Amino acid sequence: MIKQSGYHVNYAPVRQIRTSYRGNDERTPLINGNCLPSNPHMPSYNTLNNSNSDSLKSDSIYEMDVEERAKNGSKLKFLKTILLAALIIYTLISFIFIREKHEAWNNVAVQQNAPVFVDLSESLDLMFPVWKLKARSTFVSNEYANLTDYEVRFSIIRITEDNVKSVMKGPWIAPIAPNFLSLEVGSHEVEHTFVVNKEDHYDDDDHYQLRIETNLEESAGISINISGFSELSLDGILLASAVLIFLYVLIIFEVVNRTLAAMIGATAAITCLTLIRDRPSLEKVVSWLDVETLCLLFGMMVLVAILCETGFFDYVSVLTH
């Protein structure tokens, strides 16, 4: 009988050998990077740990950047809302305190050596130093002024407390056709602007009148309207340019929806007219609308919506590509 030895036949005795790397035994914690072999092509644990920490730092920096952008975006959105709300509130206030402009026409009859005086003290003041005069009659345009010898002269007369009359502005001369040519010439409207400067020594205690005189031997009927505006009316082109640039900024940078931008631009334009004391009435605003253009745009929008819903554009794109 074979005597079994102290070890199994399938196993060979192994001699226990204490191994060490760089003076450390095998019980050294693996956290220590010295326990790994010094292979330059193999990344050590410290390298992996540093890369992980760098990725965590980059992630935290990215999150902080996203949060900062979100905060800045919310601030800009809040600022945009405040500015647009302030514009709308200012527009409403101007609409409340400044009434619509209603033109009041005065009919006068003037002839040679019989001037007509129209009182202006009640309708005009220094707050609106730009006085615009409109007149309707058988006036002739400046191109044909040499065809007639008749004219009408308009002047602004100042009357002091001592009843002393003096010409403050004018005269402005408008050529007019004689009465026997009234049917051929017809009625035309002319206008002129009188600007009252500080040099004119405007005084609220004085009275102001519009003097109308002509060299026509026969009596001529004239319709007169005079209105006061602020000095901003002289810079109407600048105001229109500012409104147009403001509208383009809203559309190009997509600050608001295009439809809302158009409404805000129209409101800003009416506000500018209100500030110069030329607030239009609702009937006048409606008359500015071009119905033909609106119908064309509406028809195009309907056609595009139908083609999009039916898949026509998708079908054409598939055929094309």
Percent of the chain whose pLDDT exceeds 70: 77
Q: Does domain 106-229 have CATH number 2.60.120?
A: yes
Residue 151's H or E segment, with its range, is strand 151-159
Strand partners, 110: 220
Q: Kindly give, in sequence order, each residue whose CB lies less than 8 Å from that of residue 300, ignoring residues fewer than 6 positions away.
A: none
Whole-number mean pLDDT of the chain? 78
pLDDT at 144 over 50: yes
C-alpha to C-alpha distance for 19 and 10, rounded to whole angstroms: 25
149-193 pLDDT, tens per residue? Answer: 899 999 998 888 888 888 888 789 999 988 888 888 888 899 998
98-125 pLDDT, tens per residue? Answer: 888 777 888 999 988 888 998 887 767 6
Model pTM above 0.75:
no
C-alpha to C-alpha distance for 202 and 209, rounded to whole angstroms: 13
pLDDT value of position 276: 82
C-alpha to C-alpha distance for 196 and 170, rounded to whole angstroms: 11
pLDDT value of position 31: 46
Neighbours of 310 (CB within 10 A): 10
The stretches of the chain forming alpha helices (DSSP H) are 45-97, 182-185, 236-252, 258-275, 282-288, 291-310, 312-320
pLDDT band at 36 (very low <50, low <70, confident <90, very high): very low
Neighbours of 273 (CB within 10 A): 21
In the chain, domain spans: 106-229
289-310 pLDDT, tens per residue? Answer: 888 888 998 999 899 889 888 8
